[in-house]
Structure 1
């Protein structure tokens, strides 16, 4: 979980690679390869399934999607929920 939390912290240099980008991350004992990471979102993949993590002001939304769900649909759902919660101050 520390690697995930640290991925949302700013780096000292713009060109510095974060650990999550070079090593991936674990959720539920499973390793995911980082597809994309920014200040409030983290996307990972393991085979045909994946993880979408969205940081709000007070929470981390961590959503797993199986191979039967399209990554874009999962991403849209979690990001929409994150935007909604952020709008409420969470």
Structure 2
């Protein structure tokens, strides 16, 4: 294991560098838990759903009615040839 400070090679089991004394085994600062993941996903889904309805509300005046002649595949089978 190399020291990040002085680049000296140390034993794998060493806790401190033999040359400069820097701690070699640094614990991670933070690791997310399942509660954090659940909370984050909940927030993301809530924001996405809110944005969907907000954009739908803002774009409502710009939606137009498409004539049935333009989209015959959307009509029922009996109504196409009337």
Please give the range of the TM-score, normalised by the shorter of the 2 chains.
under 0.3
> What TM-score does the superposition give when structure 1 sets the normalisation length?
0.24
Task: Report 1 or 2 for greater relative contact order, CA contacts < 8 Å, sequence distance ≥ 6.
Answer: 1
The structure with the largest helix share of the pair is 2
The structure with the largest strand share of the pair is 1
Point out the structure with max Rg over C-alpha. 2
> What TM-score does the superposition give when structure 2 sets the normalisation length?
0.26
